[in-house]
Amino acid sequence: MIALASEFSNMRTIRLPRFVFELAFSPVLFFVVTECKCLEVRLSALRLIKVLGAEREGLFESQNLYALGRRKVQAEHGVILDDFDYPQDLVLNSDIEF
């Protein structure tokens, strides 16, 4: 699913509509973000929600799905994501003197 959605995002040349009555990518990708346990797959799906998600798909707003999924990933994996949804390195070196 992630590979196909990524391929589609690279082929896309037209702008997505603001509202889609049918369910498109966001709800399916949100399911991957919330249910998959592999961090790499979850982050790929999270990034694709921003790229492929229409503003609103049926009852779902892609911004809300993205925010909820992001929080869940951060909480479950104990990471802090940067603005591009990559985990920040929080390694502190105790050998450094201040």
pLDDT at 94: 47
57 in any annotated domain: yes
pLDDT, tens digit (0-9, with 9 covering 90-100), for 19-57: 666 777 888 999 999 999 999 999 999 999 998 888 877
98 in any annotated domain: no
| The amino acid at 86 | Y
Which range marks the domain in which residue 67 is found? 2-77
96 in any annotated domain: no
Number of domains present in the structure of the chain: 1
User: Is the predicted pLDDT of residue 93 greater than 60, yes or no?
Assistant: no
pLDDT at 95: 53
pLDDT, tens digit (0-9, with 9 covering 90-100), for 7-20: 777 776 666 666 66
What phi, psi does 36 have (nearest 5°)? -70, 145
12 in any annotated domain: yes
95 in any annotated domain: no
pLDDT: which is higher, 56 or 89: 56
